[in-house]
A and B are shown apart, each in its own frame.
Chain A
Amino acid sequence: MKNGYIGKILRVDLKTGSIKTEPLNQKSASDYVGARGLGTKYFCDECDPKVDPLSPENKLIIMTGPLTGTAATSSGRYNAVAKSPLTGTIGAANSGGHFGPELKYAGYDGIIFENASEKPVYLYINDSQVELRDASHLWGKDVYETTDLLNEECGETFRIACVSAAAEEGNLFAGIMNDKHRAAGRGGIGTVMGSKKLKAIAVKGTGSVEVARPQPFFHECISAREKLAAHPVTGAGLSAYGTMILVNIVNGVGGLPVNNGSAGSLFDTADSISGEELAAKHLLKNKGCFGCSIGCGRVAEIKEGAFKSRGEGPEYEAGWSFGADCGIDDLGAVCNANFLCNQYGIDPITMGATIACAMELYEKGYLPEEDIGFPLRFGDAAAMVKACELTCKMEGFGKILGLGSYRMAEKYGHPELSMSVKKQEMPAYDGRAIQGIGLEYATSNRGGCHVRGYMISPEVLGIPMQMDPLVTKDKPATLKLFQDLTALCDATGICLFTTFGIGLPEIAGMYREAVGSDESDAEILLKGERIWNLEKRFNIAAGVEKDTLPPRLLREKLPNGPAEGQVNELHTMLAEYYAARGWDAEGVPTEAKMQELGMASDRL
Chain B
Amino acid sequence: MKQLTIKPEKCIGCRTCELVCSFGHFEKFNPKMANVTVFEYDAEAVAVPVMCLQCEEPSCLSVCPVKAISRDEHGAVVINYNKCIGCRMCLNACPLGNITYHPEARRVFKCDLCGGDPKCAKYCPGHAIVFEDTDTLPDKRKLVGERYRDVLVKEA
Contact = CB atoms under 8 A, between A and B. Distances in A.
A71 B19 contact: yes
B32 A229 contact: no
A291 B125 CA distance: 9
A289 to B, nearest CB: 7
Interface stretch (B23-31, B91-99, B141-149): B23-31
B22, B30, B46, most chain A CB atoms within 10 A: B30
A583 interface: no
A287 B12 contact: yes
Interface stretch (A167-175, A292-300, A410-418): A292-300
Contacts, number: 77
Contacts of B151: none
A301 to B, nearest CB: 8
A378 interface: no
Interface string A211-224: 10011001000100
The A interface is mostly helix, strand or loop, or mixed, namely loop
A530 interface: no
A209 B16 contact: no
Given A218-B23, A229-B125, A207 B14 contact: no
Interface string A77-119: 0000000000000000000001000000100000000000000
B66 interface: no
A293 B29 contact: no
Contact of A70 (B19, B45, B47): B19
Contacts of A98: 15
Contacts of A218: 23
A295 B125 contact: yes
Interface residues of B, number: 27
A69 B29 contact: yes
A218 B22 CA distance: 12
B42 A180 contact: yes
Q: Interface residues of A toward B: which range?
A: 20 to 34
A288 B125 contact: yes
A41 interface: no
Given A208-B22, A288-B125, A292-B125, A70 B29 contact: yes
Interface in A145-179: none
A299 B42 CA distance: 9
A295 B126 CA distance: 9
A210 B28 contact: yes
Nearest to B46: A285
A299 B45 contact: yes
A210 to B, nearest CB: 5
B15 A291 contact: yes
Interface string B1-41: 00000000000111110011011001111111100000000
A214 B32 contact: no
Interface of A: 69-71, 98, 105, 180, 205-211, 214-215, 218, 222, 225, 229, 284-295, 297, 299
15 contacts: A98-B15, A105-B31, A208-B26, A210-B27, A214-B27, A215-B27, A225-B123, A285-B12, A288-B125, A289-B14, A291-B16, A291-B19, A292-B125, A293-B125, A295-B12
